A and B are shown apart, each in its own frame.
Chain A
């Protein structure tokens, strides 16, 4: 199946710093990528839809100025958590789907811990 990578896999940072997470589709071009967040023992929550070459579409309640998304190429989307706070600590997962596909392929996720 398609492969999606994420980097870094784990981040520990101090409150107030910004953290960038990269999501790459390794063997296909992804016109659309999705960013999710999952708190312990809770379901995946879609944060935003990232479209190559255009602005991301954010879900209700997700601050676009706090969670900056850039999808500059067909194989790379980045999520930057700006001025991270302890409540931003979570499991962030990206997924990618090419134009012809119905299936989403997930990256391995990034665990963010903000101290």
Chain B
């Protein structure tokens, strides 16, 4: 079993749709969690950190459920520019430790 598992996708949605991605992690001692987006042939860029209390940034909402070892990302009112691969990232340590990346979920938003 992989340490970090994501929905395999791909997700193909129309503009304006709401889409949710899920991610589970196997190490209960994991400390910090992130969502990154990666555009085709580009480097990953931080989208948002994920906290137990949940956090929202505009159309994006991230949730963490430590008991279920589950992370989610919700995108509302999808835009064409949201088309990308979304990576779930888990750190075992808060500082200096390496991160574990999920395989990513590809989202295509169509007009």
Taking beta carbons and an 8 Å cutoff, which residues of A are in contact with B? 1, 31-32, 34, 42-44, 46, 49, 91, 93, 97, 99-109, 111
Since A44-B101, A104-B46 are in contact, a sample of 10 more A-B pairs with Cβ atoms closer than 8 Å, ordered by chain A residue number, is A31-B96, A42-B103, A91-B41, A93-B43, A93-B44, A99-B95, A102-B49, A102-B94, A103-B46, A111-B41
CB within 8 Å of A: which B74-101 residues:
87, 89, 91, 94-96, 98-99, 101
Taking beta carbons and an 8 Å cutoff, which residues of B are in contact with A? 31-32, 34, 41-46, 49, 87, 89, 91, 94-96, 98-99, 101-104
Given A1-B46, A102-B32, A103-B34, A43-B95 contact (CB < 8 Å): no
State the CA gap A43–B6 with chains docked (Å). Answer: 11
Do A101 and B95 touch (CB < 8 A)? yes
Do B43 and A102 touch (CB < 8 A)? no
Do A102 and B95 touch (CB < 8 A)? yes
Which residues of chain B are within 8 angstroms of A97 by Cβ–Cβ distance?
Answer: 95-96
Which residues of chain B are within 8 angstroms of A91 by Cβ–Cβ distance?
Answer: 41
Min Cβ gap B19→A in Å is: 20
Min Cβ gap A6→B in Å is: 8
Given A44-B44, A93-B43, A106-B44, A99-B96 contact (CB < 8 Å): yes
Q: Find B104's partner among A1, A43, A105 (CB 8 Å cutoff).
A: A43
Do B44 and A32 touch (CB < 8 A)? no
Given A32-B96, A97-B96, A106-B45 contact (CB < 8 Å): yes
Q: Find B98's partner among A43, A46, A107 (CB 8 Å cutoff).
A: A46
Min Cβ gap B99→A in Å is: 6
Do B42 and A34 touch (CB < 8 A)? no
Which residues of chain A are within 8 angstroms of B103 by Cβ–Cβ distance?
Answer: 42-43
Min Cβ gap A28→B in Å is: 14
